[in-house]
Every structure is written in structure tokens, then in C-alpha cells.
Structure 1
């Protein structure tokens, strides 16, 4: 999966918005962030677009990091809840499933809070 495919897949999910929220911070102007329910579910630095940070279940993060070379720590995020996924190493179907999982985690959490 490349950055264009990542962007297209994220935007194909229902009610997703993309923004550059860190544009005023030095070094943050190239960070593309994807939101659902006004909360981040994926982010990628376009200057180093091989790594995407996604939300994930803590126990799954541990397993992925132990068994998959493409799974690592997420930059500038709580590594208990965020996974750094190297796009050049992860199979496309796995990347899509993990992005969809991240989207679902965030959407469920914040949809429940609105009730």
C-alpha cells in the first residue's frame, strides 16, 4: 500500500475527514490526519509516508509488534493504544483491516459519548 492508496482507503470510510492540524507547528505541517467523529484514527507524515499511526487494542499491539516486522511504535502517540505500521512491509489486506479496526475503535467510542 502506498500513500495514495492509504488516503483513498481512509476517505472511503463513512464520514471521514482529512486535515493538517499541526500545520502551525514546526515539523508538523506535513502530518496528514484522518478523523471520524472529530477524533483521530490514523495519521501519516507525508515527509516519511511509509509509517502510519493507527489506533489498536493494546493486547493486539503487543502481539503484532512481537510477530510482525512491519509493526512498531507510533511516533508522538501513546504506544499502549497506538501502533506504527510500515506500509511497505504490511500486506494490503492486513493494512486495510487494521485501518478499519482503528476507525471502528474511535467511531464506537465517540458515538457512544454523544448519546
Structure 2
């Protein structure tokens, strides 16, 4: 997965917007104003942070060396994923989907619809 594929995948989701709230090199994707993925644009290899169910976060870390506790994030709820080719794209899309769905589920009911 590369940055353009990641960007297109995130923006294809309902009510997603991108922004640069942490500076011009950190791209953030939000659903209804809540962050579900962020990535640095100045890394040699694509890395991104995704929100996770705490049990699933540990499971991903144990299964893939390229998944680590979230860099500069709450390590219980966020993972940093390095797209170094060791994780199938299907699995990375699943991580992104899980993050998006967790954030949507946390929104007030009137915002979820």
C-alpha cells in the first residue's frame, strides 16, 4: 500500500474529510470531526496510526512485527502500522475499516445516520 492508495481508500468512506491539524506533514482522516487515521507524509516507508479495540490491538501486534503500539498515541487504543510489505493489503484495509467503524460507533446516534 502506498500513500495515494491509503488516501483514496479513506476518502471513499462515508463522511470522511482530510486535514493537516498537526502541521503540513501529518495527514489526518476524520469522520464527522473524529480522527480515525493519521499518517506522516515525510517518512521513507508509509506508516499510519489506526484506532483499535484494545484486544484486537494486541492481537495485531502479536501477529505482525510491522504493527506496534501507537506512536504518540494512547497505546491501549492505537496501533502504528508500517506498510513494509509484510502485512497483506487486505489486512491493512481491515485495520482501517475497524478504526473507522470504532469511531463511527462512538458518535452520538444522530450523527451516525
TM-score, normalising length from structure 1? 0.88
- Alpha-carbon RMSD: 1.6
Task: Compute the displacement of 1:109 (Å).
Answer: 0.3
What is the distance in 2 between the residues matched to 1:17 and 1:45?
Answer: 16
Corresponding position of 1:71: 67
Task: Compute the displacement of 1:113 (Å).
Answer: 7.5
- Counterpart of 1:62 in 2: which secondary structure? helix
What is the distance in 1 between the residues matched to 2:62 and 2:28?
Answer: 27
Point out the more displaced range, 97-106 or 67-76.
Answer: 67-76
Retained in 1: the 8 A contact 2:69–2:76? Answer: no
2:94 corresponds to 1:94: no
Gap runs ≥5 in structure 1: 24-28
CA deviations on 1:22-66 (whole Å, 9 max, x unpaired) are 12xxxxx30000000201000000011521000001011111112
What is the distance in 1 between the residues matched to 2:108 and 2:18?
Answer: 19
Retained in 2: the 8 A contact 1:37–1:111? Answer: no
- Counterpart of 1:76 in 2: which secondary structure? coil
Task: Compute the displacement of 1:111 (Å).
Answer: 3.5
TM-score, normalising length from structure 2? 0.90
2:29 to 9, 34, 38: 34
Retained in 1: the 8 A contact 2:16–2:29? Answer: yes
- Counterpart of 1:47 in 2: which secondary structure? coil
Flag as ranges the 4+ runs of structure 1 deviating above 4 A: none
